[in-house]
Amino acid sequence: MRRLAILNSRAHRTFVPAWYAVFSRAGSLGRSPLAGAFAKVLPLAGIKDAALRKPLRDGVFDRETLDDYLGWMRDPEGARWVLHCFSQYRVPARADLAAGLGDIPCPTAIVWGTGDDYLRTTIAE
């Protein structure tokens, strides 16, 4: 590898407890043999909608763009894919990842959005 860019990377041990709970539950449901049934009744698009209320209010995007982004999640098949994605998402801290950061042998750029309400720049620092 000659160069590496890290873009708003998942930050272990930095989520607030409520987000750990959401991600843990979504992962467990996605790994369940009943994931398809859960996808039919869970408000997955509603959870994303709630998470994006502030950027919507701040004018980062408009309601039409948000509805276009979330629309596929409102369909049971789309919701099943959301759960499938989260089925591989693990929230426990991974000390092995943090321990290896200093061993990256190539130039590395860390790019972080200063307006990210969920993963603040202090995490990148």
User: What pLDDT score does 45 carry?
Assistant: 79
Three-state secondary structure of 29-86: HHHCCCHHHHHHHCCHHHHHHHHCHHHHHCCCCCHHHHHHHHHHHHCHHHHHHHHHHH
What distance in Å separates the CA atoms of residue 25 and residue 75, rounded to the nearest whole number? 20
Structure pTM?
0.58
β 108-111/4-7 pair status: parallel
Q: How far, CA to CA in Å, does 5 sit from each of 11, 42, 118?
A: 15, 35, 20
Q: What are the CA-CA distances from residue 46 to residues 5, 32, 65 (Å)?
A: 32, 21, 15
Per-residue pLDDT of the chain (125 residues; tens, 9 = 90+): 899 998 777 656 666 677 777 777 888 888 888 888 877 888 877 887 888 888 889 898 899 998 888 888 888 888 888 888 878 877 676 777 778 888 889 999 888 877 766 666 776 67
Contact 115, 60 (CB under 8 A): yes
What pLDDT is recorded for position 13?
Answer: 61
What is each CA distance from 96 to 86, 93, 106, 108, in whole angstroms?
21, 9, 19, 18
Which two three-digit tokens encode residue 86? Answer: 């989260």
Task: Check residue 117 and give its pLDDT.
Answer: 64
Task: Provide the pLDDT for residue 110.
Answer: 82
